[in-house]
Structure 1
Amino acid sequence: MTPEELLTTTRSVRKRLDFDRPVELSVVRECLEIALQAPSGSNVQGWQWVVVTDPDQRAAIGDYYRQAVDAYLDSPGAAGKLFADNPNRASVQNRVGDSVAYLGQHMGRAPVLVLPCLTLRGGELPEGNQAGLWGSVLPAAWSYMLAARTRGLGTAWTTLHLSYETEIAALLGLPDNVRQAALIPTAHTIGTDFKPARRQPLDDILHVNRW
């Protein structure tokens, strides 16, 4: 797989996650070792990684995620409700909405759940600009997802579980100064024929020097 193929075919995989095939923890560790090479602000490396394989814990997290997804699907901002008046995008949005609903029902069945987290100095999120803070974990999480793709694994970046961040933190025994950034289901994929997604033309969104 060339770098271009890797970067353009690493999809958010939901309906094509194989919930019945185990994932070796050693493979997840390989992906995380790669993720640790990502940059972080001031080289603090304040990330922490919680890998959940216990069936009961996965089921409990999945139940919280299902409740969050149900609320999301009822909201006006749900993916399937967006761009309804744009025939070029409506069908794609409907498929995304269906896949979100599917993962909402099955998150707890994913053989591995990975939660990238941040350790907060001072124990609290700062007021104002937090881009640098979260920007210190996002590249590492994406590197994990890319590494997983090269090993035949599918992932999806999800954050709806954060509606129940406190409950999940208690379930996993997270310290008070550790905050969750995402919930990434990880599983083998059903098939490997992923293709680049349809995106807006670059010239529609590119601004050079000024808007």
Structure 2
Amino acid sequence: MDVDTLLTTTRSVRRKLDLRRPVEPEVLTECLRIAQQAPIAGAFAESFRWLVIDDPDTKSALAQIVRTDGESSFARYGDRVPPRALASGRHLLSVLEQVPVYVTACLHGRPSGDNALLSAFYGSVYPAVWSLQLALRSRGLGSTIVGYHLAEHESDVAHILGIPDDVTQVAMLAVAYTTTNTFRPGARPAIDRITYRNRWGSPA
């Protein structure tokens, strides 16, 4: 797969996850090793942690929390989401404990301060999350972020997983092989409509 295809067809996969095929630990480790090469602010490089969850009982406990918070989110904000995407999200929530692996990206510390500090904190994690999703896609796996619990029940998930109080969960991904490889670029606004040059609102 060429780079442009990889970058334009890596989707949030919800309906097309293979819930029966195990994810080999060595494949996931290889993807995590690649993801760890993503740009990370130097001050945070040593504070980054991955947590891989494949124990069925643990996944079941997490799924209950994420499902409840996900349904609550859909009830509040579902009218802002296209019906097809909403149905896709609800499908994933209904089978969440069957997903072979969850991967949680964490960073030591609790974010606070101005926009620059918050940007550096979260911006040191999400490039690695995206790199992980790309590495997974290139090997026939799909992923999607399922962080519904982060708003109100991060501490409950932390308790289940033994995550210390001074560690922030930034993103949780559901990971599985996909049942198809025919993903296409998503519908996005035209680049000339959302790009300015030199000054806000000035056409590029």
d(CA) in 1 for partners of 2:149 and 2:112? 21
Task: For residue 203 of structure 1, report the CA deviation from its aligned partner.
Answer: 1.6
d(CA) in 1 for partners of 2:111 and 2:107? 10
TM-score by length of 2: 0.93
Task: For residue 196 of structure 1, report the CA deviation from its aligned partner.
Answer: 0.5
d(CA) in 1 for partners of 2:192 and 2:147? 30
Letter in 2 for 1:126: S
1:93-172 matched pairs, under 5 angstroms: 93-120=82-109, 124-129=110-115, 130-162=118-150, 163-172=152-161
Secondary structure (helix, strand or coil) at the match of 1:74 reads helix
1:63 is aligned to 2:64: yes
Give the RMSD, CA atoms, in angstroms. Answer: 1.2
TM-score by length of 1: 0.90
d(CA) in 1 for partners of 2:43 and 2:111? 19
Correspondent of 2:177 among 175, 184, 188: 188
Letter in 1 for 2:15: K
1:208 is aligned to 2:204: no
d(CA) in 2 for partners of 1:164 and 1:154? 25
Checking the alignment, whether the CA contact within 8 Å between 2:12 and 2:143 is kept in structure 1 is yes
Letter in 1 for 2:86: G
d(CA) in 1 for partners of 2:67 and 2:160? 16
Checking the alignment, whether the CA contact within 8 Å between 1:51 and 1:114 is kept in structure 2 is yes
Q: Indicate the residue corresponding to 1:82 in structure 2.
A: 80
d(CA) in 2 for partners of 1:70 and 1:25? 31
Percentage of matched positions with identical amino acids: 39
Letter in 1 for 2:193: D
d(CA) in 2 for partners of 1:209 and 1:159? 35
Checking the alignment, whether the CA contact within 8 Å between 2:66 and 2:146 is kept in structure 1 is no
Letter in 2 for 1:151: R
Offset from partner CA, 1:57-116 (integer Å, 9 cap, x none): 0111111111011101110x22xx227xxxxxxxxx111111111111122211000000
Task: For residue 171 of structure 1, report the CA deviation from its aligned partner.
Answer: 0.2
Number of aligned residues: 196
Task: For residue 127 of structure 1, report the CA deviation from its aligned partner.
Answer: 2.4
Checking the alignment, whether the CA contact within 8 Å between 1:31 and 1:148 is kept in structure 2 is yes
Runs of 4+ that moved beyond 4 A: none
Offset from partner CA, 1:136-171 (integer Å, 9 cap, x none): 010011111100001100001232121311000000
- Give the unaligned 5+ runs of structure 2: none
- Give the unaligned 5+ runs of structure 1: 84-92
